[in-house]
Structure 1
Amino acid sequence: MHNTLSVQPLTAAAFAAFGTVVEVPRGGAGRPINGGTSQRFDLLADMALTAEGGRPMLALFRAQARRFPHAVNELERHALGSQTFVPLGQRRFVLVVAPAAPEPDLGALAAFMTDGTQGVVLAPGTWHHALLAVDAGDFVVVERAAQAVDCDVVRWEQGISVVIPA
């Protein structure tokens, strides 16, 4: 297990095992809509929110900025649905993630920081820490809602220090 976890920049390729990066596609033209006044970019066809009677839920999270290094000693996962975080305005945040599995593999932890304009869709089952805002502010969150809460949490004693390189 890591004692220290260094944050790396968020890229679609590096994050692919954990979900999808939400950003304007580079080099993509999109398609014109609204009489040519807008470009539409379809980013993800299925956000996996309807398993076992689930429905899409749109929420707003108002996050306080966290201090780094930050000690992480718990992860959560949503086994039945994805969870999406998109900043409103220019807001950076850190993602601490581990691959989908029955229990998190702490030896496989990874940490990413957005550039302030990127969002993410965490794939169902991906272990992750709660929102770690670098810049305080508002985030749109889309997740699965149902009668039964879909959130498993695992905690451990020794914190792992998440560090943003200078």
Structure 2
Amino acid sequence: MSDLVTCITVSLVNQEAYEPYGQVVYSPTPSSGGKAQVANQGTARRYNHVVELENFRSEPNACSGSIPAVPNMCIFQCDPQWQPGSLFHVRLLERHQHSTQCFMPIARPLATNVGGDYLVIVALNGADDRPDVATLRAFIGRPWQGITYRPGIWHHPMVALTQVSVIE
């Protein structure tokens, strides 16, 4: 992507605009249509299947040839990479062709209680099996929102905007 120069506008992430790339994850509420089950002796609510998870990966198996890959929950600690008022340069897009990825921010609290926003940069796959630059979009995720990438979606590694953030 180093020979390509383009500018894109950043918008707040919402499900309608983000739909081609994945899903926005947030805590459902009864008013949003979320159906909850009472859990933990009435002290919590459980919402099942809040996002679609797809896994097309497989691992070799001596008996059957292959088995579905085992899901892996990781935590990334992301350092801020952007200075307010400056341009952010996209130098890398990657993709995971065979499975959904889900990222949920866990911002470390600051004394000022500011921050936790993160930048999401995505693109659809093109006919040449490279990022389709015409579909390149940038979104700001808020501290209370997570996102998923559908299998095969090109994306920039997560970008913490103003503070160290942990992204699951």
TM-score, normalisation: structure 2: 0.75
Aligned length: 140
Deviations 1:45-79 (A, max 9, x none): x5223621221112111111111421113210000
List gaps (5 residues or longer) in structure 1.
142-166
For 1:152, the equivalent position in structure 2 comes to: none
Superposed, 1:136-151 pairs within 5 Å as 136-141=163-168
Residues 108-157 of structure 1 deviation map (CA, whole Å, 9 limit, x = unaligned): 1111001221111111000000111113334243xxxxxxxxxxxxxxxx
Q: Is the 8 A contact 1:78 1:124 kept in 2?
A: yes
Q: Name which of 61, 66, 79 aligns with 2:76.
A: 61
Find the counterpart in structure 2 of residue 74 from structure 1: 92
CA shift digits 1:86-127 (9 cap, x unpaired): 111362111110114421111211110012211111110000
Aligned partner of residue 58 in structure 1, secondary structure? coil
1:2 positional shift: 6.3
Report the structure number with the largest CA radius of gyration: 2
Match of 1:103 among 130, 151, 155: 130
Any runs of at least 4 consecutive aligned residues in structure 1 with deviations exceeding 3 A, and if so which?
Answer: none
Distance 1:137 1:116 in 2: 12
Distance in 2 separating the partners of 1:99 and 1:29: 31
Q: CA deviation at 1:3?
A: 2.0
SS in 1 for 2:91: strand
Map of 2:18 onto structure 1 = 15
Q: Which has the higher strand share?
A: 1
Q: Does structure 2 conserve the Cα–Cα contact (< 8 Å) formed by 1:86 and 1:140?
A: yes
